[in-house]
């Protein structure tokens, strides 16, 4: 069955709220509804303290949702729904900047193309000092965001502090609809390999990927690395459309199974890039839509998946409108890859609603793999089920030394101050360096003195033991502030085992099969479709 145009995280379906409560037919459930109604009535009328009726009903609703013990099911207030929609869709009304806290002020990290901020001449590194008539010193990013966002067409005045300019820079903007890019940058990582990092599955994610692939192939890319590491997912339709960029029309991409529901989602268009060799990078931060794309491409042998096991978020959430601007995001099903693998990794929750792994990083060990169900890809390669996406090639990220781990534990309680102080050092170096700069040990000493002055207590010996890790953090921020994301990626390549491994596999690949052969993961048998589960 051809999939419907449905975005599970974005679909808003109106459910009527009945005057008498829930329209329940079964006597047992009707009795339960009466019990709830009676308790609410007595609490409202007889409890020692007067309670606001609206708050009482909202608390009851939240209590019901909490008792489901599902961290993905949430009751949204109107404001929470607005924020959820903005984060999911990557679309909002503002002036078009990415911001972060640096010292006393929130600072501009990135200026989005074709935005009011770009048109007004905002620069990366500008400090947001005043918004309209409000002094923004000491504001966090959320407070600044609340001031900058507003209805399309409304004015907002911002006064910036700019390095090298003695007087504050005052600008007036008209808010506009902003589409945050899903792909902030792309690059040729060597003479034949294009690199595309995807940050989110927003409304324009597939369009951004398509644009990136076309641009990189024009620049000579003979293969592509799609980086989904740390990508938490987003809009379902974008996962399908993105898979369809590389897979033929008419292929099953995913199925969903819920209460009395089974639905297949099938690719609807001819692919943009059906043959270019492809490696997909995943890690424990790759979830939901990222796993849908990686799973579909892996099942059809269209991409080699490399890295570490993904997060394992294979539950479907749908969003339903409620009265008063509220909305309920509720789990309604589970995702399965074309070969029938469940994406959902088994987890438990503690009393605080935090995840407890049933099998913490052990899904990649040989002993655990033997106990997991196995499936076959389209050409007969063995794939592993039991939750999450297990890469074809396991490559662990660079590990920290014992001294570096000790430093990270020590700095963790003061990480925000640590990050902010690094950002201040980076801003002070802007315009003074060349792209091949080396980290000056004096910057690390300056950072230590800043933290001590800011009441951060850390033993000097532990600090010195973390020198390499500290220098990496300083290097990344300085490179980003002075030269942008592309230079950061080039300079950090030496520390990225997974990306370098992907490059090595693609060096001589003319077709996708060459990538599997180079990795020692070549298909054993050629088959027409995707084989289903085998073994246990």
Tell me which residues are annotated as active site: 288, 299, 313
Helix locations, 121-275, DSSP H: 141-148, 205-218, 236-244
Longest alpha-carbon distance in the chain? 77
Angle (CA) 32-36-40 rounded to 5° is 170
Please say whether the beta carbons of 93 and 175 come within 8 A: yes
Nearest alpha carbon to residue 471 among 404, 387, 389, 382: 404
Distance CA 507, CA 213 (A): 18
For helices 441-453 and 467-483, give the axis angle rounded to 10 degrees.
100
From residue 330, alpha-carbon distances to 18, 76, 224, 310, 346 in Å are 19, 11, 36, 23, 18
**What are the CA-CA distances from residue 11 to residues 5, 8, 203, 446 (Å)?**
10, 6, 13, 50
Structure tokens at 15: 């459910």
Bridge partners of 320? 13, 328
Q: How many CB atoms lie within 10 A of CB 344?
A: 18
Tokens 């849908």 belong to residue? 292
Q: Is the dihedral of CA 271, 275, 276, 277 positive or negative?
A: positive
Label each residue of 279-296 as H, E or C. EEEECCCCCCHHHHHHHH
What is the rounded CA–CA span in Å between residue 141 and residue 212?
30
Closest Cα partner for 106 from 140, 63, 83, 78? 140
**Rounded Cα–Cα distance for residues 183 and 238 (Å):** 13
> What is the helix, strand, coil percentage profile of the chain, to 5?
35, 20, 40
The span from the CA of 177 to the CA of 152, in Å, is 6
3 state DSSP class of 457: coil
CA torsion angle for 408, 412, 414, 418 (degrees, to 10)? 40
Helix (H) / strand (E) element for 315: namely: strand 315-321
**Using N-to-C axis directions, what is the helix angle for 236-244 and 205-218, rounded to 10°?**
30
Tokens of 128: 């947001």
Through-space distance between the first and last CA atoms of the chain, rounded to whole angstroms: 28
Question: Whole-angstrom Cα distance, residue 136 to residue 142?
Answer: 11
């Amino acid at each position: 069955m051809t999939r419907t145009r449905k975005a599970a995280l974005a679909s808003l379906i109106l459910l009527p709220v009945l005057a008498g409560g829930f329209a329940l037919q079964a006597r047992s459930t009707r009795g339960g509804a009466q019990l709830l109604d009676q308790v609410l009535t007595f609490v409202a009328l007889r409890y020692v303290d007067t309670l606001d009726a609206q708050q009482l009903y909202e608390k009851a609703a939240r209590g019901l949702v909490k008792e489901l013990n599902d961290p993905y099911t949430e009751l949204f207030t109107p404001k929470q729904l607005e924020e959820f929609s903005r984060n999911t869709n990557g679309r909002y009304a503002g002036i078009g900047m990415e911001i972060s806290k640096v010292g006393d002020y929130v600072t501009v990290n990135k200026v989005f193309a074709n935005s009011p901020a770009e048109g007004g001449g905002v620069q990366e590194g500008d400090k947001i000092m005043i918004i309209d008539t409000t002094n923004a010193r000491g504001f966090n990013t959320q407070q600044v965001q609340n001031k900058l966002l507003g209805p399309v067409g409304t004015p907002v005045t911002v006064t910036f502090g700019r390095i090298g300019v003695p007087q504050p820079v005052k600008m007036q903007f008209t808010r506009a609809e902003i589409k945050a890019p899903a792909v902030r940058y792309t690059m040729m990582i060597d003479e034949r390999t294009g690199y595309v990092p995807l940050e989110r599955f927003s409304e324009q994610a597939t369009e951004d990927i398509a644009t990136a692939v076309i641009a990189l192939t024009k620049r000579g890319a003979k293969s592509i690395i799609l980086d989904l590491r740390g990508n938490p997912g987003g809009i379902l339709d974008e996962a399908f459309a993105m898979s369809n960029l590389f897979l033929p029309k008419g292929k099953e991409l995913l199925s969903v199974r819920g209460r009395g529901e089974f639905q297949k989602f099938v690719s609807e268009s001819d692919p943009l890039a059906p043959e270019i060799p492809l490696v997909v990078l995943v890690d424990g931060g790759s979830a939901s839509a990222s796993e849908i794309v990686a799973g579909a491409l892996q099942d059809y042998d269209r991409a080699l998946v490399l890295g570490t096991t993904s997060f394992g978020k294979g539950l479907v959430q749908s969003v339903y409108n409620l009265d008063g601007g509220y909305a309920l995001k509720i789990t309604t099903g589970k995702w399965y890859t074309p070969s029938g693998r469940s994406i959902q990794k088994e987890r438990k929750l503690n009393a605080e609603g935090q995840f407890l792994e049933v099998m913490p990083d052990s899904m990649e060990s040989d002993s655990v793999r033997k106990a997991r169900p196995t499936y076959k890809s389209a050409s007969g390669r063995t794939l592993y089920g039991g939750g999450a996406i297990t890469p074809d090639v396991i490559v662990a990220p660079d590990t920290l030394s014992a001294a570096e781990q000790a430093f990270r534990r020590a700095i963790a309680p003061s990480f925000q101050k640590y990050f902010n102080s690094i950002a201040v050092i980076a801003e002070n170096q802007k315009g003074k360096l060349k792209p091949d700069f080396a980290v000056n040990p004096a910057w690390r000493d300056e950072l230590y003195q800043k933290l001590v002055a800011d009441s951060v207590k850390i033993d000097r010996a532990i600090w010195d033991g973390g020198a390499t890790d500290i220098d990496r953090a300083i290097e990344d921020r300085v490179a980003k502030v002075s030269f942008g994301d592309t230079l950061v990626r080039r300079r950090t390549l030496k520390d990225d085992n997974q990306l370098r491994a992907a490059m090595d596999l693609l060096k001589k690949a003319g077709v996708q099969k060459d990538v599997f052969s180079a990795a020692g993961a070549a298909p054993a048998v050629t088959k027409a479709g995707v084989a289903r589960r085998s073994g246990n």
